[in-house]
Chain A
Amino acid sequence: EVQLVESGGGLIQPGGSLRLSCAASGFNVSNNYMSWVRQAPGKGLEWVSVIYSGGTTYYADSVKGRFFISRDDSKNTLYLQMNSLRAEDTAVYYCARGVGEIDYWGQGALVTVSS
């Protein structure tokens, strides 16, 4: 059974850093496109970042230069390092398999940026 379990969310002050983790089971993250998608409270979905099976990464303009996606194949885990956090980064962050067509999603991790 495919499962994605996020962790690492929480309350962080503006300008701070946080790392989200996404433990995958039932498939290998190394063989798939893996994405992060976020959803601000009461708002729509926003694609954040993707890492290809070959390791190439892409980012939305809103997070470019501040967020970094990576994975640890030995732990079958995806990460999102978030730096210089802003209030507008407050959202539920979903780990997802795929990019345009996402067939599996995690349960989401809430990140709240506030002083």
Chain B
Amino acid sequence: QSALTQPASVSGSPGQSITISCTGTSSDVGSYNLVSWYQQHPGKAPKLMIYEGSKRPSGVSNRFSGSKSGNTASLTISGLQAEDEAEYYCCSYASTRIFYVFGTGTKVTVL
């Protein structure tokens, strides 16, 4: 099972909106509404930002939103802030055999 495909890097200026894509297949992203997104700062553990495609855990800013179309899930960060600079990973349920697969990761840079 290959990792889900994400762009290596995305950048934006403070206040702008950016979108990170996460492309899978009809066997994972396309088949289940079980995509989650994680933020990871250097040297730190990941933090859950979005689950079940578009739900935000308590305490996560509403500047973060998730969506899905076909085999591609997306994470949008609106009103970009300096603290949003981090690595972002998507994750999807893939099957009872493969179970879960992460994306390749996207480095977000705030210009």
Q: A residues touching B (Cβ–Cβ < 8 Å)?
A: 37, 44-47, 50, 58, 60-61, 94, 99-103, 105-108
Q: Within B85-101, which residues are at the interface with A (CB < 8 Å)?
A: 89, 91-93, 98-101
Q: Which of A47, A101, A103, A106 contacts B102 (CB 8 A)?
A: A47
In the bound complex, do residue A101 and residue B89 qualify as a contact, i.e. CB atoms below 8 Å apart? no
What is the bound-complex CA distance between A47 and B105, given in angstroms? 14
Prevailing SS type, chain B contact patch: strand
- How many positions in chain B have a CB within 8 Å of any CB in the partner chain? 25
Q: Are A44 and B36 in contact (CB under 8 A)?
A: no
Of the candidate stretches B10-18, B43-51, B75-83, the one touching chain A is B43-51
Given contacts A100-B93, A102-B48, contact A58 B105 (CB under 8 A): no
Asked whether, in the complex, the Cβ of A99 is within 8 Å of the Cβ of B45, the reply is no
Known contacts A46-B102, A60-B99, A61-B1: A100-B91 contact under CB 8 Å: yes
**Contacting pair B52 A101 (CB below 8 A):** yes
Pairs A–B under 8 Å by Cβ, sample size 29: A37-B46, A44-B3, A44-B102, A44-B103, A44-B105, A45-B89, A45-B105, A46-B102, A47-B91, A47-B99, A47-B100, A47-B101, A50-B100, A58-B99, A61-B1, A61-B98, A94-B45, A100-B91, A100-B92, A101-B36, A102-B38, A102-B46, A102-B48, A103-B48, A103-B57, A105-B45, A105-B46, A105-B47, A107-B45
